[in-house]
Structure 1
Amino acid sequence: MNRIGVFTATRAEFGLLRPVITALEASSTLEPVVIVSGAHLSERHGMTVSDIQAEGVAIAARVPVPLISDRPVDIAADMAATLKGCAEAYAALDLDAVLMLGDRTELLAAAAAAVPLALPVIHMEGGHLTHGAVDDSIRHAVSKLAALHFTAAEPYRQRLIQMGEAPERVFTVGSTATDNLKAFGRRTRAQVEAELDLDLSPGFILATFHPETLGEMSPAAQIDAFLIGLAAGREGRRVLITLPNTDAGSDTVRTRIEAWAAANADWATARTSLGARRYLAALTACDAVAGNSSSGVIEAPIAGVPCVNVGERQAGRLRPPGVIDAPLAPEAITAALRRALSPAFRAEAAQVPPPFGDGRAAERIVAVLEATDFTGLARKPFVDADRQGRRS
């Protein structure tokens, strides 16, 4: 059995890793070894390790980090703690490779921890662009540390090859978000109301807003613009909004959202975290998604739900037709929401063929891993291109 470490630090990333963990559990030659860190172990961020346990997933190691504040210097300290803790966990667990997904600060630390151990890194969801966040540079850095790559779409694969990655090590498999939605199915508003103990009639908007870490506006100005536009454009719907991740500026965004939801409690509800399954339930039952989460430009289009994507945080990702981009200005957000909530646009978004694969991404990932010889895999080539653009 090859022991594959699976690193997870956030609610969103675990949801996308879950289909792969399930497929690894079913493999006769691979064994998933789950390592939990970051916001999963933070009371302030919902202690979402409980969601992992509720899924019946065995946790092999926990790597706690301070998460003292959202100041950049404290986030750097969290990265240092993650690097140290992951290196110790990897060594103790006798892994053959470590799998990770995405572009968070803690992910870069987790990938760097594998380097001195000559432990191959397997990276999911590389090749994206997100111009408005530091995630962009982190994602590319993790890609350069990784020995194997699994991308959600062919343009992302080509971007990694352009970065010098060997084509035979980069696989377009689709997104596990499609796997999740295909397996999970749709939920009705009544089912979501019962599960969350909320009144969501006559319909609701699912919102998430994270700080735009490379934006020119302050986090306070960003979230204020979003909330003003959201309130004016909701067209009588209720709003269910989840609190932000641990990025720089997130404390300000969190405080502003909580105060706003309390002041508008007759139609707005803020939740620290819904968990992967409850979030997908809400996403499939809502009238529209709004904010700047990657779920708005990936999961929402797969589910056929309109999305108003705000600001530059997700700028550069592929844009399915059901996504409406709006700048961080209240009037623009209001206008985009009204368009997204119109019957014509909702019908159009629901009819768009699902992008990002056919729901078999995890199956393809595990098939590649079962055929992989992990011995010496950490020794990766750099593939140069000649002047004519051909690769040598």
Structure 2
Amino acid sequence: MAERVTICVVSSGRADYGLIRPILDALRADPWTVGQLLLTGTHADPRFGSDADDLIEADALVPMPLDGDDSGTAARGAAAVLTGVVEALERLTPDAVLIVGDRYEILAVAQAAMLLRLPLIHLGGGDVTEGAIDEGIRHAVSKLAQVHLVTHAEAARRLRQLGEEDWRIHTVGNPSLDSLAAAAALPDAALEGLLGRPLGADNLLVCFHPVTLLPDGGRAEFDALLAALGELPASTHLWITRPNADPGHEGLTRHLTDWASGRANASIHATLGAAYLPLMARCRAVVGNSSSGLTEAPSLGIPTVNVGVRQQGRLAGETVFHCAGEAAAIRAALAKAMAANLAGAINPYGDGKTVPRILSVLTSLPERDTLMHKRFIDIEVAGG
């Protein structure tokens, strides 16, 4: 694409906004690119945290109705996203669409781009999370995408295994790591202003989401996590983010609210927003089943206790301590994590220089016809 290229960057909620924001800023700062922002998913739903400034700034906002807590609600919400995103993209007329990850509403965005014959740029393909429906969604989106921005070499190998052409695959790292140095340098007073309360003597960041491939949605694992956290001393403050919008979130949120009631050392947040990474840098550990503990915490030298099966199969470095979703196992993993010497630990998801690599890819995209006509590359298997 020799002329100035317009790329519509899509975010579906708090989980991917930290990934797309530095990319959007780079696109808007570069003279050869135009960055558009399309918000969908839970961005307009205050139950999951929304930022009024981001909503005002967006070039398009596509709400996702979530009037229930079951799989049917998710399916109907995704259908509404498909319709709304088609209308938004027809109005915005970008040259390409950039999406992140593996949420069900992101699959709807990918469908919209495909049906409108817009080149799709996918960040985060090739990862593995065997405990959630995200696994199938991620690989499906990869097959719909024309350009792949992957966070590590193993992910690139898996995309080649899926038949993707090598020239379409770019190993760039995780873009959220580019802003970690600034996040860690935020003064305590400024961070406490964002949080609305003082930091504890010790701090833990707790993030647990529904486990969509378990019959109970992860409730037993969540109960075990809360039991383990309940035994920690009152001097340890628990900064807890609410579960995401996956089916089963309402039950987990009610249980969490009841459990935290009357506990002075526990605070629940719909989203921590700009405080999330600076707070992570002040914590003794990250605990739960969020991918950020595997992808971002290592660069800060913060250990992660990864609970249960949600992230099963995802690449993890030496700062990650896996444990079963049982109270005794969680207690043991927490003790081990907080006693560990992590000096010199390497984050397998990148070096904090991802955004310039992404911008280099986006400013040198081939012509549209070349992008849109994909070939399937067979891999010869020994003995097959």
TM-score, normalised to structure 2, is 0.94
> In 2, distance between residues paired with 1:174 and 1:371?
18
Q: What's the counterpart of residue 12 of structure 1?
A: 15
Matching residue within 344, 348, 364 for 1:351: 344
Q: Residue type of the partner of 2:11? A: T
Deviation at 1:235, TM superposition (A): 7.9
Q: What's the counterpart of residue 163 of structure 1?
A: 162
Q: Residue type of the partner of 1:50? A: A
2:38 aligned with 1:35:
yes
CA contact (8 A) 2:131 2:311 kept: yes
> In 1, distance between residues paired with 2:73 and 2:180?
36
1:252-291 → structure 2 map (5 Å cutoff)? 252-264=251-263, 266-275=264-273, 277-291=274-288
1:1-392 → structure 2 map (5 Å cutoff)? 1-46=4-49, 48-50=50-52, 52=54, 58-187=57-186, 189-233=188-232, 236-264=235-263, 266-275=264-273, 277-342=274-339, 345=340, 348-376=341-369, 377-388=371-382
Query: Per the alignment, do residues 93 and 389 of structure 1 end up closer, same or farther by CA in structure 2, a change over 3 Å counting?
Result: farther
Q: Residue type of the partner of 1:166? A: E
- How many residues of Structure 1 are paired with residues of Structure 2 in the alignment? 380
> In 2, distance between residues paired with 1:374 and 1:73?
40
Unaligned runs of 5+ in 2: none
Q: Deviations over 1:36-74 (max 9, x none)?
A: 11111112222x142525xxx831111112111221001
> In 1, distance between residues paired with 2:87 and 2:133?
27
> In 2, distance between residues paired with 1:387 and 1:240?
48
> In 2, distance between residues paired with 1:79 and 1:196?
32
Q: Deviations over 1:94-125 (max 9, x none)?
A: 11110000111110000011111111110001
Q: Residue type of the partner of 2:351? A: D
> In 2, distance between residues paired with 1:42 and 1:371?
36
> In 1, distance between residues paired with 2:233 and 2:161?
42
> In 2, distance between residues paired with 1:62 and 1:97?
18
> In 1, distance between residues paired with 2:164 and 2:347?
28
Query: Per the alignment, do residues 108 and 209 of structure 1 end up closer, same or farther by CA in structure 2, a change over 3 Å counting?
Result: same
CA contact (8 A) 2:220 2:325 kept: no
Unaligned runs of 5+ in 1: none
Query: Per the alignment, do residues 374 and 8 of structure 1 end up closer, same or farther by CA in structure 2, a change over 3 Å counting?
Result: farther
Q: Report the RMSD for the aligned CA atoms in angstroms.
A: 1.8
Q: Residue type of the partner of 2:373? A: R
> In 1, distance between residues paired with 2:359 and 2:383?
32
CA contact (8 A) 2:119 2:372 kept: yes
Q: Residue type of the partner of 1:322? A: T
CA contact (8 A) 1:97 1:374 kept: no
CA contact (8 A) 1:114 1:121 kept: yes
> In 2, distance between residues paired with 1:148 and 1:97?
10
CA contact (8 A) 2:202 2:237 kept: yes
- The more displaced of 365-374 and 97-106 is 365-374
CA contact (8 A) 2:119 2:368 kept: no
Deviation at 1:335, TM superposition (A): 1.2
Q: Residue type of the partner of 1:326? A: C
The secondary structure found in structure 1 opposite 2:279 is helix
Q: Residue type of the partner of 1:356? A: Y
Query: Per the alignment, do residues 386 and 220 of structure 1 end up closer, same or farther by CA in structure 2, a change over 3 Å counting?
Result: closer
Matched residues, percent identical?
Answer: 39
Deviation at 1:170, TM superposition (A): 0.2
The secondary structure found in structure 2 opposite 1:41 is coil
